[in-house]
A and B are shown apart, each in its own frame.
Chain A
Amino acid sequence: MLQSATETVNEDKQNPTSVNDNLTELQQKFMETAFNFAYNALAVQEVPVGCIFVYNNEILASGRNTVNETHNATRHAEINCIDEVNNFCRSKNLDVKKIFSEIDVYVTVEPCIMCAAALYDLHVRSIIFGCKNDRFGGQTVFNVASVLNPVTEVKNGYRAEEAMNLLKEFYKGTNPSAPLDKVKVKGKKARKPSDEATLKT
């Protein structure tokens, strides 16, 4: 059973209640695929987030962050998957709205505010994510659901530690495309908000 977003988001990291037991074997397999894309992202020095869009138990789109590759900070795994589903629907002359409303999203990290809004606006059926996103999370940093009243069900916690470790691994290095003075060390406070630039998911 999918728990509501608000019920799960406040759970402590160490909370032994894992959603592992709640995911079916097939769902776990989908998450495994999403993780593969996250590992792939790390290998090419992109923020390690992987994402799968599932429709009728079939993978309709899969992707990872391509922010550095595209020089576009909005090219998150979820947005790439939305593009893919959109292209698929148009090539097959399918009803885009209807397809999205039956999509289950599997993503290794909590969707950011931007992606959460995009997914809620598309009325995707559910989102299952791994770890929280302390920097940009659409629940953790700003609860997008509180202003958009989504129909989407959200569930989290599956392989959270592994997903978080991937992010930590990435942030240990530096963002290859940010100018040198704009790369800040994690935890250090930047001087001026308008001048700073950090690594992003």
Chain B
Amino acid sequence: MSCPPKKIKLEQNTDNQFYPVLSEEFTEPTPMIDVYIDTVTDPRNISKVVVELNTVLPLPELTHLKRIKGKDVLLFPCNKDTAPDMVCEILKKNNFDISYLKNNVRTMSVAEIAPKTRKQYEVVHKLWPCNFHSNKYVEKLCTNTLFSASEIESHVNYMQVAIDIARFSKDPLSIAGVVVVDPKINSIVAVGFDKRIDNPCQHAVMVAIDNVALTQNGGAWQQVNARLDNQASLDLRGIPDDILDVLKKKYRNLRFGATKFKGKCEIETPSDGPYLCTGYYVYVTREPCVMCAMGLIHSRAKRVFYGTKSENGALGSLCKIHTVKDLNHHYEVFAGLLEDGCKKLKQK
């Protein structure tokens, strides 16, 4: 096979082609279930048959399905105790007048649950008609059309900063950088780089989380003096001095600092003031491990963007911690942002 010549423009664009890491309920086909169907003898009786069946054999688990497809009618789900030749008996037992039907019982595979995406809907609807409530946000995620051009540019910029931060990592074998952004004020709240050579828990993400805590008068790994950006009165404690200097010189258009933390008594409106990483976006050069991914859930991050996959990654590779149903908080995950640049870090 011969490869078409690569165009430089296309190559540049791949930087922007990051993608959401979604739960299987959106990416996998809709789960299916086998049901018995039969054909109505006289099409004029269709509505009567439907009303009758819904009365004597309601299907509360399958309300997303239409009862009828053309002249075929959905009877009830198959199970191992009912062979097709018993269907007639069961209908009779439930006082259903079987003379309405052709006694041509067949099995049919239908959607077990309502489809969650248009793509899933189009597949299952062809097999058997069903209801579908389209969710605009989900559709945008599934088709990867959520972000505008300017939003994409902003995400790319912040990941570029994370790559610069990663270079401060202490061990050449584990290089990672993190930038935490408050999208409400479009400002870098905190950064983190890998320090596991000093402390096995000090992965870049965990360091960044603790640096966010510094901006809220907390923090466990460090104590820092109060530092405020005088013009904007943003709290700069989440970014070490030396790194802040470097970043300010390189990125003249970026903002730095967190909204000032308010103690409990100062909070007027309930949603006021920063609380952990609530509402924050986290940019990390490589996919976080299980510990870090869960640390971000505890911290209530809103979105996590990562560059390159990790062997021990918990946001797509080993597992998808952010899609575990039983957890009380879920963030959105996007992968492949500046993947090439992030990959190069790892090789160094």
Q: Interface on A for B, CB 8 Å cutoff?
A: 66, 69-75, 79-80, 82-83, 86, 96, 100, 112-118, 121-122, 135-136, 141-142, 144, 147-148, 176-182, 190, 193-194, 196-198, 200
> 1/0 per residue B197-221: CB within 8 Å of A?
0011100001001101100111111
Asked whether B319 lies within 8 Å of A147 as measured between CB atoms, the reply is yes
Cβ proximity bits B323-334 to A, threshold 8 Å, 1 near / 0 not? 010111111100
Chain A nearest CB: distance from B102 CB in Å?
46
Closest 5 CB pairs of A and B: A71-B218, A181-B270, A114-B294, A117-B290, A73-B298
Quick check: is B159 within 8 A (CB to CB) of the other chain? no
Residues on A with C-beta less than 8 A from B294 are 112-114, 117, 136
Look across to chain B and name the residue whose beta carbon is closest to the beta carbon of A140: B326
Q: Are A142 and B319 in contact (CB under 8 A)?
A: yes
Minimum CB–CB distance from B328 to chain A (whole Å) comes to: 5
A194 and B298 form a contact (CB under 8 A): no
Q: Which residues of A contact B218 (CB under 8 A)?
A: 69-72
A71-B201 in contact given A142-B324, A144-B290, A147-B319 (Cβ < 8 Å) = no
Stretch touching chain A among B39-47, B62-70, B243-251, B272-280: B272-280
Q: Is the CB of B290 within 8 A of A70?
A: no
* Nearest CB of A to B170, in Å: 14
CB contacts (< 8 Å) of A177 on chain B: these are 264, 275
CB contact between A118 and one of B201, B210, B275, B298 (< 8 Å): that residue: B201
Interface residues of B in 246-269 (CB under 8 A from A): 264, 267
Contact of B290 among A135, A141, A148, A194 (CB under 8 A): A148
Could you say which residues of chain A place their CB within 8 Å of the CB of B220?
Answer: 66, 70, 72, 75, 80, 83
Q: Which of these, B216, B298, B319, contacts A71 with CB under 8 Å?
A: B216
Tell me the complex Cα distance, A118–B293, Å: 11
Do A114 and B330 touch (CB < 8 A)? no
Q: Which residues of A contact B109 (CB under 8 A)?
A: none
CA distance A75 to B331 in the complex (A): 20
Contact A74 B300 (CB under 8 A): no
Known contacts A70-B213, A113-B294, A82 near B201 by CB under 8 Å:
yes
Q: Across the two chains, which residue of chain B brings its CB closest to A192?
A: B330
Q: How far is the CA of A66 from the CA of B221 in the complex (A)?
A: 12
Nearest chain A CB to B173 CB, angstrom units = 14
Q: Mark B282-304, 1 if CB is under 8 A from A, else 0.
A: 00000001110011011110100
Compute how far the CA of A142 lies from the CA of B271 in the bound complex, rounded to whole angstroms.
Answer: 30
Please list the residues of chain B having a beta carbon within 8 angstroms of any beta carbon in chain A.
Answer: 199-201, 206, 209-210, 212-213, 216-221, 264, 267, 270-273, 275-276, 278, 289-291, 294-295, 297-300, 302, 312, 314, 318-319, 321, 324, 326-332
Chain A proximity of B338: nearest CB distance (Å): 24
> How far, in angstroms, from A71 to B271 measured CA to CA in the complex?
17
- Supply 10 A–B pairs (Cβ within 8 Å), ascending by A: A71-B216, A73-B298, A74-B295, A74-B299, A86-B199, A114-B291, A115-B291, A148-B312, A194-B331, A200-B298
Chain A neighbourhood of B326, CB < 8 A: 141-142
Nearest chain A residue, comparing its CB with the CB of B320: A142
Which listed residue (A74, A113, A135, A141) contacts B206, Cβ 8 A? A74
Partner of B328, one of A116, A144, A148, A190: A190
Asked if A70 contacts B219 (CB within 8 A), the reply is yes
A196–B290 touching, CB < 8 Å: no
State the CA gap A82–B312 with chains docked (Å): 20
Question: B298 contacts which of A69, A114, A116, A121 (Cβ < 8 Å)?
Answer: A114
| Given A73-B298, A74-B295, A117-B289 contact (CB < 8 Å) | yes
Give the docked Cα–Cα distance between A194 and B262 (Å). Answer: 21
Task: Kindly list chain B residues whose C-beta atoms are within 8 Å of the C-beta of A197.
Answer: 275-276, 278, 300, 329
A200's nearest neighbour on chain B, judged by CB, is B298
Beyond the given pairs A136-B327, A148-B312, A196-B329, 4 more chain A to chain B contacts, judged by CB atoms under 8 angstroms and listed by A's residue number, are A112-B294, A113-B321, A116-B290, A193-B330
Chain A residues with CB below 8 A from B312, complex form: 148
Which of B216, B272, B290, B329 is the most central at the interface, judged by chain A CB atoms within 10 Å of its CB?
B290
CA distance A72 to B214 in the complex (A): 9
The smallest beta-carbon distance between A180 and chain B, in angstroms, is 5
Cβ contact of B271, chosen from A116, A141, A179, cutoff 8 A? A179
Q: Which residue of B has the minimal Cβ distance to A183?
A: B270
Complex Cα spacing A142 to B319, Å: 10
Q: Smallest distance from the beta carbon of A82 to chain B beta carbons, Å? A: 6
B275: chain A residues within 8 A (beta carbon): 177-179, 182, 197
Docked Cα-Cα span, A176 to B300, in Å, equals 17
**Bound Cα distance from A198 to B298, whole angstroms:** 10
Chain B residues closer than 8 Å to A196, beta-carbon distance: 328-329
Measured CB to CB, the closest approach of chain A to B302, in angstroms, equals 6
B200 with A86: CB separation less than 8 A: yes
Contact: B219 with A71, CB < 8 Å?
A: yes
Complex alpha-carbon distance, A177 and B318, angstroms: 34
